[in-house]
Amino acid sequence: MTETDKDKKQNYNLNKLHKRLRRNVGNAIADFNMIEEGDKVMVCLSGGKDSYTLLDILLNLKLNAPINFDIVAVNLDQKQPGFPEHVLPEYLQSVGVEYKIVEENTYGIVKEKIPEGKTTCSLCSRLRRGILYRTATELGATKIALGHHRDDMLATLFLNMFYGGKLKSMPPKLISDDGKQIVIRPLAYCKEKDIEKYAIAKQFPIIPCNLCGSQPNLQRQVVKEMLNTWDRQYPGRLETMFSAMQDIVPSHLCDPKLFDFKGIKHGQIIAGVEGDTAFDEEELPAVPAALEADDDNDYADNGLIQFKSVA
Ligand code: SF4
């Protein structure tokens, strides 16, 4: 293959990847009504691959979206030692987006309050959340966009099951406890593998995430490794599990807060619930359902931005 052929193939692959990410983000925005006419979306930029990809795709969607919305990028400079302060301003100026760098020494607070060797992430992220909420109010932002993706949501589901005893993940859209902020996760349908490839191809100036010196969250790492192993051994399993998160049958779990088991009466027909499988083996497809339906690896992407029901 000549160099020109290689370049052509690389461009073709990048184009396909870009279309897929754009389509995934457009669909998530539409499915959860994440962005509405006149919104000002504050995109939280950490300098990692996920938040760069989020900003890039949102800026791209904005160009062709059937609604008007504004974007402001925000980075919180937490004053970790070695944080390269120039990187994000230079990048943000180069893409021409409105931005704000918020400087708050949360690193110093965390170091002062948490004894050496203990995990600092929970205090650090609480402080960060407060600062970002305050910044959103100051900027008049109506939505706060975070860069979590499908694989973060799956990992959180298992972490909560394994360690928290709850069937709970990371919501694609949520409202803050005081009802003042709406947080959205437009990458909810995007695979981490796609984001990784995109960030490399686009050569985003990634800022290392270990500047604070905190130990990585071992529980999350173990769960991520488990998911990655499944993905290698059983292609389609992650897709199927994510589909399952979108198709929940409360009458076939055991949470009486979600389903009135006590109130079940003779003659009652419950809409939307499949037949009684209490005595039968579940009939499961040989191939994971989501793999059959997954068109991410073929040419089905026509490049149209869905944004189906946003308007
Ligand atoms: S890794 Fe460091 S910067 Fe990130 S949440 Fe934990 S303490 Fe904070």
Q: Which atom of ligand 1 is nearest to the CA of 110?
A: 7
DSSP-derived pairing of the beta strands 70-77 and 40-44: parallel
Distance 59 CA to ligand 1 centre (A): 27
Tens-digit pLDDT profile for residues 209-246: 888 887 778 899 999 999 999 999 999 999 999 999 99
CA–CA distance, 295 with 311 (Å, rounded to integer):
26
Nearest CA to ligand 1 atom 7: 121
Q: Which atom of ligand 1 is nearest to the CA of 121?
A: 6
What is the greatest pairwise CA distance in the chain? 73
Question: Looking at per-residue confidence, does 99 or 304 come out higher?
Answer: 99
Tens-digit pLDDT profile for residues 152-198: 999 999 999 999 999 999 999 999 999 999 999 999 999 999 999 99
Q: Which of 44, 212, 218, 220 to mutate to test the pocket of ligand 1 (most atoms within 8 A of CB)?
A: 212
- Share of residues in the chain with pLDDT > 70 (%): 88
Nearest to 111 by CA among 144, 78, 86: 78
Tens-digit pLDDT profile for residues 121-161: 889 999 999 999 999 999 999 999 999 999 999 999 999 99
- Share of residues in the chain with pLDDT > 90 (%): 73
DSSP-derived pairing of the beta strands 182-184 and 173-175: antiparallel
Distance 130 CA to ligand 1 centre (A): 15
For the chain, how many helices (H) and strands (E)?
10, 6
The per-residue pLDDT of the chain, averaged, comes to: 89
CA–CA distance, 111 with 232 (Å, rounded to integer):
39
Give the burial string for 47-68 (b: 16+ CB within 10 Å, else e): bbbbbbbbbbbbeebbeebeee
